[in-house]
Amino acid sequence: MERKLDYEIPNLEVRNILVNQDGSLFMGFEEFEIIVNTYVDSKGLPHTTYQYYYQNIYGARINSSGKFEWMRKIPKYQVSYDRPQGTLGYKLINDAKGYYFLYLDHKKNLELSEDEVPKRYFDGYGGQIILSKIDLQGNVSKDLLFDTHDEDLMIYPAQFNAINGNQFIGRADIKRGGYKPLLITIKD
């Protein structure tokens, strides 16, 4: 991405600012947009609908001298109608090797390059739990952790918490009823 001289990313939200031990900064961004539609039905009653779009993730690093090192894009396209967040968004943790983004996505997006348009993932329909990593040099990799359809559960990645540099903990919604804690550990 840094080969271009001009950047324009509409609806970019700063989600994370991390100060690393060496004094460098990492910033996590997400393209986020809410579209509000209001209409009047045949009885003259007004109705309002909301569409929530959680799109591409961006990570940028600035070294301890203040020099911009790199910016990387992780393509994703998440949509919800009339419900904010739900299974959408991401959770970030970091360690000495890089930055890890946990989120739900469409399985066809696992092998996308940063310039390809991702398939939509719809909130609440189950999907694949993806862990994308940006290492300290700016290299991006993606791993499929598991498919929520196969495990018969749903998770809410943005509501997970980082325990340490390689573990997320959160709540899993069991499709046959109830909840249970879920621990996700990143292995090298």
Q: Where are the alpha helices (DSSP H) in the chain?
A: 148-151
Report the C-alpha dihedral over residues 103, 107, 108, 113, rounded to 10 degrees. 40
Q: What is the pLDDT of residue 1?
A: 47
Q: What is the pLDDT of residue 134?
A: 97
Q: What is the pLDDT of residue 82?
A: 74
Q: What is the pLDDT of residue 3?
A: 55
Distances in Å between the alpha carbon of 176 and those of 86, 105, 136, 150, 156?
Answer: 18, 22, 41, 13, 17
Non-local CB neighbours of 41 within 8 Å, separated by 6+ positions: 47
pLDDT per residue, tens digit, the chain (188 aa), is 455 556 678 899 999 999 999 999 999 999 999 999 999 999 999 999 999 999 999 999 999 999 999 999 999 999 998 777 788 999 998 888 899 999 999 988 988 888 899 999 898 887 899 999 999 999 999 999 888 888 888 888 888 888 877 788 988 888 778 888 888 888 76
Beta strands in 23-67 (DSSP E): 25-40, 46-62
List 134's β-bridge partners, or say none: 99, 140
